[in-house]
Amino acid sequence: MLKNSEQNYGLVSRANHWISAVLFIGLIAIGLYMSDLEKSPEKFELYDLHKSLGIGLFMLMMLRLVWLKISPNPEQISNNKFEHILGHAVKGIFYLAMIMMPISGWIMSTTGGHDVSFFNLFTLPVLIGENEMIHEIAEEIHGTAGTLMIAVILLHVAGALKHHLVYKDATLLRMLGKNQKEQ
């Protein structure tokens, strides 16, 4: 089943979720690691990889937004109003971050005088030329959003595990491709 149903996530949504999750966690790990490195060829290679993966994640996010119009997500499984609102808030923060972080990274790179290339297949246009003040603002936004995302990822995983282990509902199972009836 490619599309979402009223109870379950389809293959497209599940694949986008898990690929995005791996990319996002990888981007955070690479970002934290490379920020402590001295200037070197390895650091610049990691920056190029980080930028390419960030563009890839941004493209997945745009596909996700289009796909939501074609195939809306099933409703959350929650009897607790606070958790239902929290789940929507976490999803909203994820979506905002997966748009804001690549854009702030793009601005940060170009205002710092660096190209943003997608695996050397194409280079994004320069939106804003070199500008130290805008560079510092974009860098602050990018770093703060990354730190916030670590907390949100932990909250997201904790919520999924609580649903699975405490509530014993199908929240996690349906993102793993198990139909609600299969639990």
Domain at 163, CATH number: 1.20.950
pLDDT tens readout for residues 128-166: 999 999 999 999 999 999 999 999 999 999 999 999 999
Contacts of residue 142, defined as CB under 8 A and 6 or more positions apart, other chains included, come to: 101, 104, 105, 108
Residue 78 domain-assigned (yes or no): yes
Residue 3 domain-assigned (yes or no): no
Residue 30 domain-assigned (yes or no): yes
Q: Are 40 and 161 in contact (CB under 8 A)?
A: no
Q: How many domains does the chain have?
A: 1
Residue 133 domain-assigned (yes or no): yes
Q: Is residue 43 predicted with pLDDT exceeding 90?
A: yes
Tell me the angle at which helices 132-162 and 11-35 cross, rounded to the nearest 10 degrees: 130
Give the distance, in angstroms, between the CA of residue 123 and the centroid of all CA atoms in the same chain.
21
Q: What are phi and psi of 127, to 5 degrees?
A: -80, -40
Residue 151 domain-assigned (yes or no): yes
Show the domain range for 22: 11-182
Q: What is the mean pLDDT of residues 72-95?
A: 90
What is d(CA 32, CA 36) in angstroms, rounded to the nearest whole number?
7
- Buried b or exposed e, range 57-71, using 16+ CB within 10 angstroms: bbebbeebeebeeeb
pLDDT band for position 180 (50/70/90)?
low
What is d(CA 144, CA 62) in angstroms, rounded to the nearest whole number?
22
pTM for this prediction: 0.91
Residue 2 domain-assigned (yes or no): no
Q: Strands, DSSP E only, in the chain?
A: 117-118, 122-123
Residue 120 domain-assigned (yes or no): yes
Residue 154 domain-assigned (yes or no): yes
Q: What is the widest separation between alpha-carbon atoms in the chain?
A: 56
Percent of the chain with pLDDT over 90: 89
